[in-house]
A and B are shown apart, each in its own frame.
Chain A
Amino acid sequence: RKEVEQDPGPFNVPEGATVAFNCTYSNSASQSFFWYRQDCRKEPKLLMSVYSSGNEDGRFTAQLNRASQYISLLIRDSKLSDSATYLCVVNGGGGSYIPTFGRGTSLIVHP
């Protein structure tokens, strides 16, 4: 079983739509969680951290469900510029500081 799993997609949505991605993780001792965005042929960049209480940044909302061991990312009012791959990152647990990356979920927003 992969440590961090994501649906690769692609999620193909029209502008203005709301779209949500989930990411499951296997290590129950994991301590910190992030969503990264990666554009084609570019490096991943931090989109937002995921707090236990949830985290909202404009049109983006991230949630953590420790009981079910998943994190989610909700994008409201999708823009063309949101088209990218979204990587889930899980860190810590068992004394490890090595981040574990999901393979990413591809989002395509069309006019």
Chain B
Amino acid sequence: DVKVTQSSRYLVKRTGEKVFLECVQDMDHENMFWYRQDPGLGLRLIYFSYDVKMKEKGDIPEGYSVSREKKERFSLILESASTNQTSMYLCASSLPGTGKFSGNTIYFGEGSWLTVV
């Protein structure tokens, strides 16, 4: 069965701390994504990666960075956490390709709830 695992489900961090959110998928997917979801704002794309060591900015990359050293792992880094980064963070993965809906189905992890105090 398809599996995207976010190891940290609930975190409380202090302002200014460096935060790592880890995501691992076991489906050999090329594409991986990090979103945050806030009430009334829907899902917003932070960063995505279409291959190992490749990354591209999404809609709200400010204050975040990512790392993809291995195909199965995509990490989100908050260099200096701030209170406005309190949110639910969702990792996702999908196969590549365009025009083939079966290849574009996106699978989500269970989410990481981050509170910055």
Contact = CB atoms under 8 A, between A and B. Distances in A.
The number of chain B residues touching the other chain, given as a range, is 20 to 34
Interface in B53-111: 58, 88, 90, 94, 96-102, 104-111
> Which one of A45, A51, A98 has the highest number of Cβ atoms from chain B below 10 Å of its Cβ?
A98
Interface string B24-44: 000000010100000011110
Contacts, number: 66
Contacts of B116: none
B99 A45 contact: no
Looking at chain A's contact residues, the main secondary structure is loop
Nearest to A6: B42
Given A42-B111, A44-B108, A45-B108, A101 B101 contact: no
B101 A91 contact: yes
Interface in A66-96: 87, 89, 91-93, 95-96
A25 interface: no
A22 interface: no
A32 B42 contact: no
B21 to A, nearest CB: 14
A46 interface: yes
Contacts of B40: 103
Contacts of A104: 42
B45 interface: yes
B43 A92 contact: no
Given A42-B111, A45-B108, A103 B41 contact: yes
A14 to B, nearest CB: 26
Contact of B99 (A32, A43, A46, A101): A32
19 contacts: A31-B99, A31-B101, A32-B101, A41-B111, A43-B90, A43-B109, A46-B105, A49-B102, A87-B43, A91-B104, A91-B106, A92-B98, A92-B104, A93-B98, A98-B33, A98-B58, A99-B94, A101-B43, A103-B40
- Cβ-closest 7 pairs across A and B: A32-B101, A103-B42, A43-B108, A101-B43, A31-B99, A91-B104, A92-B98
Given A92-B104, A98-B33, 4 more contacts: A34-B105, A46-B107, A91-B104, A93-B98
